[in-house]
Amino acid sequence: MSEQTEQTQGGVVIVGAGMAGVQTAVALREQGWTGRVTLLGAEPHQPYDRPPLSKAVLLGKAEDSAFDVDFEGLGIELRLGVEVTGLRGAERELDTEAGPVPYEVLVLATGAEPLTLPGAEGVPGVHLLRTLDDAARLRPVLAAAPAMVVVGAGWIGAEFATAAREAGCEVTVVEAADRVLAGALPAEVAAPMARWYEEAGATLLTGVRVAAVEAGRVLLTDGRALPAGAVVVGIGARPATRWLAGSQVELGPDGSVTADAYLRTTAAGVYAVGDCASFPSGRYGARLLVHHWDNALQGPRVVAANVLGGGAERVYDPVPYFWSEQFGRFVQYAGHHGDADELVWRGDPAGEAWSVCWLRDGALAALLAVGRPRDLAQGRRLIEAATPVDPARLADPAVPLKSATLG
């Protein structure tokens, strides 16, 4: 990027004021960008962090989770309540409800949007949990402690069920797949986690779908009717990229922006980062779409460096990481186990603390840690370094992971 670029009228415009967008704006300033930075947010609220929504904010322990960022002091123009409706790459201009917005460099950080349950849209008492407004609507519902039905036994479904049980609600979780976390973990690894629902006093129903949602009840495909003072849908999310249809930005079959190794898109001067973008991982030999907080924190630093230029472009190839708090347990995951060829258990999955390690060609490729944060910290470093490990020592939970290496 030339020095002249930063002096142009449009400067850098970032679409999306979530973690990825905010961190991109901050990283640009930290790394020396002196031109204009404009951050567009569709919501009217000050930019906020999302993980607390399913925990502290939902349970009334915090009013919000706004980022502690001095936008004015950093010279970042923050424009809230601005919905972007289109991109005209040839003109380097965005279409918004408030009028066109020119850019020289554009960063797409629009995140993801929750999937809705067909037929449940507009039914009273049906909720999603993605935004601050969603959490605000759900907080008094939880406080009233109704019988609740949670649709989906993935990460967000488990986290919401945890909060609902803490609030004293009767909770039934309905999952169409035959197990929890079907899209995230192998059956043998997810099996111990299914027991957590019963231990927490929640009813888990797997292998059954929702046939219809009516006011006050949920009808299942097996004929059962579940009383439901409220229904929370947590069946996944898709990149918030519909507005890019017909633009020069290529989208993948999953709706993600197909960024390259430098987080550039197929449109000139346009980058993409966070939940809305997939990227090719040389480390794992696959294109990854990572819908987690750490990805939205790490990617912006690479985007900012590549926007500034001044040397060789930086490749984005992280070890994916995320965590989840559910049913009194701290669950962490690092890596990508898709092409692993060996699985090693550390500890008893019937207990409170255990880990699972995935190996590829003798090196640690991924790690799931339940109540073992030290395993995660040490394992993440081993994954980054592709360090060969001894499976026998790895299987001994008394041996620190850093001491299970070969050589």
Q: Are 131 and 296 in contact (CB under 8 A)?
A: no
Q: How far apart are CA 18 and CA 16, in angstroms?
A: 6
The CATH superfamily of 116-233 is FAD/NAD(P)-binding domain (3.50.50.60)
Burial 386-395 (b: 16+ CB within 10 A, else e): ebebbeebbe
> Exposed, middle or buried, 297 (CB in 10 Å: 0-12/13-18/19+)?
middle
Query: Would you state the pLDDT for residue 351?
Result: 93
- Secondary structure element (H or E) that encloses residue 230, with its range: strand 230-233
Query: Would you state the pLDDT for residue 10?
Result: 63
Low-confidence ranges of the chain (pLDDT < 70): 1-10, 407
DSSP 401: G
Query: Would you state the pLDDT for residue 50?
Result: 87
Q: Which 3 state secondary structure label does DSSP give 229? A: coil
Q: How far apart are CA 337 and CA 296, in angstroms?
A: 20
Q: Domain map of the chain by residue range?
A: 5-112+237-308, 116-233, 328-403
Q: Are 48 and 65 in contact (CB under 8 A)?
A: yes
Q: CA quadruple 37, 40, 44, 47: dihedral positive or negative? A: negative
Q: How far apart are CA 259 and CA 314, in angstroms?
A: 13
Amino acid at site 335: G
Q: Are 149 and 159 in contact (CB under 8 A)?
A: no
Return the CATH architecture of domain 328-403. 2-Layer Sandwich (3.30)
- pLDDT tens profile 89-128: 999 999 999 999 999 999 999 999 999 999 898 899 999 9
- Secondary structure element (H or E) that encloses residue 161, with its range: helix 155-166
Question: One fold for both 116-233 and 328-403?
Answer: no
Query: Class for domain 5-112+237-308, per CATH?
Result: alpha beta
N residues, the chain:
407
Residue 223 burial (CB count, 10 A):
8
Residues near 124 by beta carbon (within 8 Å), at least 6 away in sequence = 215
Q: How far apart are CA 291 and CA 258, in angstroms?
A: 15
Query: Would you state the pLDDT for residue 3?
Result: 40
Q: Are 149 and 226 in contact (CB under 8 A)?
A: yes
Closest CA to 77 of 5, 29, 8: 29
Query: Would you state the pLDDT for residue 312?
Result: 83
Q: Tokens at residue 294, please?
A: 């750490």
Amino acid at site 290: V
